[in-house]
Amino acid sequence: MIKKVSVFITAVVIGVLSSLIRLDFITNLAEGASIELLVMFTANFLPYPEEKITFELIASLTYIAPKLYILIAFGDFFYDDFRISSVYVFTRKDNRVKWFLDKLFHILKHLVLYFAIITAVSVIIGFANNLPVASVQGLLLISSICILLNVTVTLVFVLLINVLSLYISCEMSLFLTLLAYVFAHLPAIVKRSDPVQHLLIKLNPVLQPVLPWHDDGFLLDYIQPLDIPAIPGFNVYWSFLVLGAYLVLAVFVGIRVVKTVEITDRNY
Protein backbone atom coordinates (compact mmCIF):
# COMPACT_ATOMS: atom_id res chain seq x y z
CA MET A 1 0.00 0.00 0.00
CA ILE A 2 2.66 2.47 1.08
CA LYS A 3 4.77 1.40 -1.83
CA LYS A 4 2.15 2.42 -4.38
CA VAL A 5 1.73 5.91 -2.99
CA SER A 6 5.45 6.56 -2.77
CA VAL A 7 5.91 5.35 -6.34
CA PHE A 8 3.39 7.87 -7.60
CA ILE A 9 4.78 10.71 -5.55
CA THR A 10 8.20 9.86 -6.96
CA ALA A 11 6.71 9.89 -10.47
CA VAL A 12 5.55 13.47 -9.91
CA VAL A 13 8.93 14.50 -8.53
CA ILE A 14 10.80 12.81 -11.38
CA GLY A 15 8.40 14.34 -13.91
CA VAL A 16 8.92 17.83 -12.53
CA LEU A 17 12.70 17.53 -12.30
CA SER A 18 13.24 15.95 -15.71
CA SER A 19 10.93 18.30 -17.54
CA LEU A 20 12.42 21.37 -15.90
CA ILE A 21 15.89 20.18 -16.87
CA ARG A 22 14.71 19.43 -20.39
CA LEU A 23 12.74 22.66 -20.65
CA ASP A 24 15.99 24.56 -20.74
CA PHE A 25 17.25 22.38 -23.57
CA ILE A 26 14.01 22.69 -25.53
CA THR A 27 13.68 26.44 -25.23
CA ASN A 28 17.31 26.91 -26.27
CA LEU A 29 16.58 25.21 -29.57
CA ALA A 30 16.34 27.93 -32.14
CA GLU A 31 12.89 27.13 -33.40
CA GLY A 32 10.13 24.63 -33.12
CA ALA A 33 10.06 24.26 -29.34
CA SER A 34 6.82 22.54 -28.45
CA ILE A 35 5.17 20.51 -25.74
CA GLU A 36 5.56 17.44 -27.94
CA LEU A 37 9.32 17.92 -27.94
CA LEU A 38 9.34 18.41 -24.19
CA VAL A 39 7.47 15.15 -23.70
CA MET A 40 9.81 13.34 -26.04
CA PHE A 41 12.96 14.75 -24.48
CA THR A 42 11.87 14.29 -20.88
CA ALA A 43 11.97 10.50 -20.72
CA ASN A 44 12.64 9.30 -24.26
CA PHE A 45 15.81 10.94 -25.46
CA LEU A 46 19.48 10.04 -25.63
CA PRO A 47 22.04 11.81 -27.81
CA TYR A 48 23.10 9.76 -30.84
CA PRO A 49 26.79 8.88 -30.54
CA GLU A 50 28.69 11.15 -32.90
CA GLU A 51 32.10 10.98 -31.26
CA LYS A 52 33.94 7.83 -30.31
CA ILE A 53 32.44 8.12 -26.86
CA THR A 54 29.37 10.28 -26.44
CA PHE A 55 28.15 10.69 -22.92
CA GLU A 56 25.85 13.42 -21.74
CA LEU A 57 25.26 13.02 -18.06
CA ILE A 58 22.00 14.96 -17.88
CA ALA A 59 20.45 13.22 -20.88
CA SER A 60 21.54 9.79 -19.63
CA LEU A 61 20.20 10.51 -16.16
CA THR A 62 16.81 11.71 -17.34
CA TYR A 63 16.55 8.67 -19.58
CA ILE A 64 17.81 5.96 -17.24
CA ALA A 65 17.10 7.11 -13.68
CA PRO A 66 13.28 7.01 -13.81
CA LYS A 67 13.41 3.48 -15.14
CA LEU A 68 16.03 2.37 -12.65
CA TYR A 69 13.86 3.69 -9.86
CA ILE A 70 10.78 1.78 -10.93
CA LEU A 71 12.82 -1.40 -11.52
CA ILE A 72 14.10 -1.19 -7.96
CA ALA A 73 10.64 -0.38 -6.60
CA PHE A 74 9.11 -3.47 -8.17
CA GLY A 75 12.18 -5.70 -8.06
CA ASP A 76 11.00 -7.63 -5.03
CA PHE A 77 7.38 -7.82 -6.02
CA PHE A 78 7.21 -11.59 -6.62
CA TYR A 79 9.71 -12.37 -4.00
CA ASP A 80 7.59 -10.59 -1.40
CA ASP A 81 5.09 -13.43 -1.65
CA PHE A 82 7.88 -15.98 -1.36
CA ARG A 83 9.71 -14.41 1.52
CA ILE A 84 7.04 -14.39 4.18
CA SER A 85 4.14 -16.79 4.47
CA SER A 86 4.84 -18.16 1.01
CA VAL A 87 3.30 -21.46 1.97
CA TYR A 88 0.17 -19.86 3.39
CA VAL A 89 -0.24 -17.47 0.48
CA PHE A 90 0.34 -19.90 -2.34
CA THR A 91 -1.79 -22.78 -1.19
CA ARG A 92 -4.72 -20.37 -1.09
CA LYS A 93 -4.29 -19.47 -4.75
CA ASP A 94 -6.15 -21.46 -7.37
CA ASN A 95 -3.16 -21.91 -9.48
CA ARG A 96 0.41 -20.89 -9.95
CA VAL A 97 0.00 -19.45 -13.43
CA LYS A 98 -2.90 -17.33 -12.28
CA TRP A 99 -0.76 -16.02 -9.46
CA PHE A 100 1.86 -15.04 -12.02
CA LEU A 101 -0.64 -13.33 -14.32
CA ASP A 102 -2.22 -11.45 -11.41
CA LYS A 103 1.19 -10.16 -10.46
CA LEU A 104 1.96 -9.27 -14.05
CA PHE A 105 -1.19 -7.20 -14.48
CA HIS A 106 -0.66 -5.54 -11.16
CA ILE A 107 2.82 -4.45 -12.19
CA LEU A 108 1.58 -3.42 -15.63
CA LYS A 109 -1.08 -1.17 -14.12
CA HIS A 110 1.48 0.53 -11.91
CA LEU A 111 3.98 0.99 -14.71
CA VAL A 112 1.38 2.59 -16.99
CA LEU A 113 0.34 4.96 -14.21
CA TYR A 114 3.93 5.75 -13.33
CA PHE A 115 4.96 6.73 -16.83
CA ALA A 116 1.62 8.42 -17.51
CA ILE A 117 2.20 10.63 -14.49
CA ILE A 118 5.70 11.56 -15.65
CA THR A 119 4.38 12.39 -19.11
CA ALA A 120 1.39 14.31 -17.79
CA VAL A 121 3.65 16.33 -15.53
CA SER A 122 5.87 17.33 -18.45
CA VAL A 123 2.81 18.37 -20.48
CA ILE A 124 1.66 20.52 -17.57
CA ILE A 125 5.09 22.04 -17.17
CA GLY A 126 5.15 22.76 -20.91
CA PHE A 127 1.82 24.57 -20.64
CA ALA A 128 2.92 26.44 -17.55
CA ASN A 129 5.93 27.72 -19.47
CA ASN A 130 3.88 28.78 -22.48
CA LEU A 131 5.29 26.22 -24.87
CA PRO A 132 3.03 25.85 -27.91
CA VAL A 133 1.34 22.63 -28.99
CA ALA A 134 2.31 22.06 -32.59
CA SER A 135 -0.46 19.54 -33.14
CA VAL A 136 -2.87 18.11 -30.61
CA GLN A 137 -2.93 14.84 -32.47
CA GLY A 138 0.86 14.77 -32.49
CA LEU A 139 0.95 15.43 -28.76
CA LEU A 140 -1.47 12.60 -27.99
CA LEU A 141 0.34 10.20 -30.29
CA ILE A 142 3.79 11.04 -28.98
CA SER A 143 2.67 10.93 -25.35
CA SER A 144 1.03 7.53 -25.70
CA ILE A 145 3.98 6.08 -27.60
CA CYS A 146 6.45 7.43 -25.03
CA ILE A 147 4.43 5.88 -22.21
CA LEU A 148 3.92 2.53 -23.92
CA LEU A 149 7.54 2.10 -24.97
CA ASN A 150 8.80 2.87 -21.48
CA VAL A 151 6.20 0.61 -19.91
CA THR A 152 7.03 -2.35 -22.13
CA VAL A 153 10.77 -2.18 -21.66
CA THR A 154 10.51 -1.80 -17.89
CA LEU A 155 7.99 -4.61 -17.72
CA VAL A 156 10.47 -6.93 -19.41
CA PHE A 157 13.18 -6.05 -16.91
CA VAL A 158 10.87 -6.14 -13.88
CA LEU A 159 9.90 -9.65 -14.92
CA LEU A 160 13.53 -10.58 -15.34
CA ILE A 161 14.46 -9.40 -11.84
CA ASN A 162 11.48 -11.08 -10.28
CA VAL A 163 11.90 -14.41 -12.01
CA LEU A 164 15.60 -14.45 -11.24
CA SER A 165 14.89 -13.65 -7.60
CA LEU A 166 13.18 -17.01 -7.27
CA TYR A 167 16.53 -18.69 -7.90
CA ILE A 168 19.12 -16.42 -6.38
CA SER A 169 18.77 -13.89 -3.62
CA CYS A 170 16.58 -10.92 -4.29
CA GLU A 171 19.45 -8.47 -3.87
CA MET A 172 21.70 -10.40 -6.23
CA SER A 173 19.01 -10.63 -8.85
CA LEU A 174 18.31 -6.91 -8.60
CA PHE A 175 22.00 -6.12 -8.81
CA LEU A 176 22.66 -8.35 -11.83
CA THR A 177 19.60 -7.20 -13.75
CA LEU A 178 20.27 -3.53 -13.13
CA LEU A 179 23.86 -4.04 -14.20
CA ALA A 180 22.70 -5.70 -17.41
CA TYR A 181 20.13 -2.96 -17.88
CA VAL A 182 22.68 -0.17 -17.58
CA PHE A 183 25.29 -1.92 -19.72
CA ALA A 184 22.74 -2.47 -22.46
CA HIS A 185 22.85 1.29 -23.07
CA LEU A 186 26.42 1.06 -24.42
CA PRO A 187 25.42 1.39 -28.10
CA ALA A 188 24.10 4.83 -27.17
CA ILE A 189 27.52 5.83 -25.86
CA VAL A 190 30.18 4.09 -27.93
CA LYS A 191 30.32 4.83 -31.64
CA ARG A 192 30.79 2.07 -34.17
CA SER A 193 30.31 1.94 -37.93
CA ASP A 194 26.80 2.96 -38.86
CA PRO A 195 25.44 -0.43 -39.95
CA VAL A 196 26.69 -2.11 -36.77
CA GLN A 197 25.46 0.75 -34.63
CA HIS A 198 22.05 0.68 -36.24
CA LEU A 199 21.71 -3.05 -35.81
CA LEU A 200 22.81 -2.91 -32.17
CA ILE A 201 20.27 -0.19 -31.50
CA LYS A 202 17.44 -1.80 -33.40
CA LEU A 203 17.74 -5.07 -31.52
CA ASN A 204 18.43 -3.53 -28.15
CA PRO A 205 15.46 -3.57 -25.78
CA VAL A 206 16.57 -0.62 -23.65
CA LEU A 207 17.05 1.75 -26.60
CA GLN A 208 13.67 1.21 -28.24
CA PRO A 209 12.09 4.09 -26.29
CA VAL A 210 14.53 6.68 -27.72
CA LEU A 211 11.88 8.29 -29.89
CA PRO A 212 14.02 10.95 -31.65
CA TRP A 213 16.05 8.21 -33.40
CA HIS A 214 12.95 6.79 -35.05
CA ASP A 215 12.23 7.56 -38.68
CA ASP A 216 8.43 7.64 -38.57
CA GLY A 217 6.79 10.26 -40.74
CA PHE A 218 4.89 11.88 -37.92
CA LEU A 219 8.17 12.54 -36.09
CA LEU A 220 9.97 14.20 -39.01
CA ASP A 221 8.43 17.63 -38.48
CA TYR A 222 9.66 17.62 -34.93
CA ILE A 223 13.04 15.98 -35.31
CA GLN A 224 14.39 17.24 -38.62
CA PRO A 225 15.01 20.82 -37.45
CA LEU A 226 17.09 19.40 -34.60
CA ASP A 227 19.60 17.69 -36.84
CA ILE A 228 19.23 14.34 -35.12
CA PRO A 229 19.87 11.56 -37.64
CA ALA A 230 16.97 9.14 -37.81
CA ILE A 231 17.99 5.48 -38.07
CA PRO A 232 16.63 4.07 -41.31
CA GLY A 233 13.95 1.45 -40.75
CA PHE A 234 13.79 2.19 -37.05
CA ASN A 235 10.15 3.05 -36.62
CA VAL A 236 7.63 2.77 -33.83
CA TYR A 237 6.08 -0.43 -35.20
CA TRP A 238 9.49 -2.01 -35.22
CA SER A 239 10.07 -0.99 -31.61
CA PHE A 240 6.79 -2.48 -30.48
CA LEU A 241 7.58 -5.64 -32.41
CA VAL A 242 11.01 -6.01 -30.81
CA LEU A 243 9.80 -5.17 -27.31
CA GLY A 244 6.75 -7.37 -27.82
CA ALA A 245 9.04 -10.28 -28.67
CA TYR A 246 11.17 -9.70 -25.57
CA LEU A 247 8.03 -9.40 -23.46
CA VAL A 248 6.50 -12.60 -24.81
CA LEU A 249 9.76 -14.37 -24.10
CA ALA A 250 9.92 -12.98 -20.56
CA VAL A 251 6.31 -13.95 -19.85
CA PHE A 252 6.87 -17.41 -21.26
CA VAL A 253 9.97 -17.97 -19.16
CA GLY A 254 8.18 -16.51 -16.14
CA ILE A 255 5.26 -18.90 -16.47
CA ARG A 256 7.57 -21.88 -16.87
CA VAL A 257 9.58 -20.92 -13.82
CA VAL A 258 6.58 -20.18 -11.64
CA LYS A 259 4.97 -23.45 -12.65
CA THR A 260 7.88 -25.49 -11.37
CA VAL A 261 9.62 -23.39 -8.74
CA GLU A 262 9.75 -25.16 -5.40
CA ILE A 263 8.15 -23.28 -2.57
CA THR A 264 10.24 -24.14 0.42
CA ASP A 265 10.96 -22.07 3.47
CA ARG A 266 14.65 -21.91 2.77
CA ASN A 267 16.23 -18.89 4.40
CA TYR A 268 16.82 -16.43 1.62
Partner 1 sequence: MMAVEIYHLTKIIRGRTILNDITLELERGKIYGFFGRNASGKTMLFRAICGLIKPTRGEVRVFGKRIGVDVSFPESLGLIIENVGFWEQWTGFQNLKFLASIKNIITDEDIRAAIRRVGLDPDDKRIYGKYSLGMKQRLGIAQAIMEKPQLIVLDEPTNSLDEEGVGLVRNILLEEKGRGATILIASHIKEDIDLLCDEKFKVEAGRIYPAGSGVKDE
Ligand X SMILES: Nc1ncnc2c1ncn2[C@@H]1O[C@H](COP(=O)(O)OP(=O)(O)OP(=O)(O)O)[C@@H](O)[C@H]1O
Footprint of ligand X (CB under 6 A): 264, 266
Residue 137 or 169: the one with the smaller Cβ distance to partner 1 is: 169
The single residue among 28, 53, 88, 193 that binds partner 1, judged by CB under 8 A, is 88
193 binds, among partner 1, ligand X, none (CB under 5 to 8 A by kind): none
Residue 65 or 97: the one with the smaller Cβ distance to partner 1 is: 97
The single residue among 12, 87, 136, 245 that binds partner 1, judged by CB under 8 A, is 87
φ/ψ bin of 233: left (φ > 0), alpha (ψ from -120 to 50), beta (otherwise): left
Q: Torsions phi, psi of 53, nearest 5?
A: -125, 120
d(CA 65, CA 17): 11
End-to-end CA gap in the chain: 24
Residue 84 or 245: the one with the smaller Cβ distance to partner 1 is: 84
- The CB-of-133 to ligand X minimum distance in angstroms stands at 59
91 binds, among ligand X, partner 1, none (CB under 5 to 8 A by kind): partner 1
How far is CA 1 from each of CA 4, 6, 7, 92, rounded to the nearest angstrom?
5, 9, 10, 21
Q: Stretches 7-15, 94-102, 165-173, 195-203: which one binds partner 1 (CB under 8 A)?
A: 94-102
Strand ranges (E), the chain = none
240: contact with partner 1 by CB under 8 A: no
Residues 6+ apart with CB under 8 A from 84: none
Residues 6+ apart with CB under 8 A from 111: 70, 74, 150, 151, 154, 155, 158
Residue 131 or 257: the one with the smaller Cβ distance to partner 1 is: 257
- The CB-of-91 to partner 1 minimum distance in angstroms stands at 5
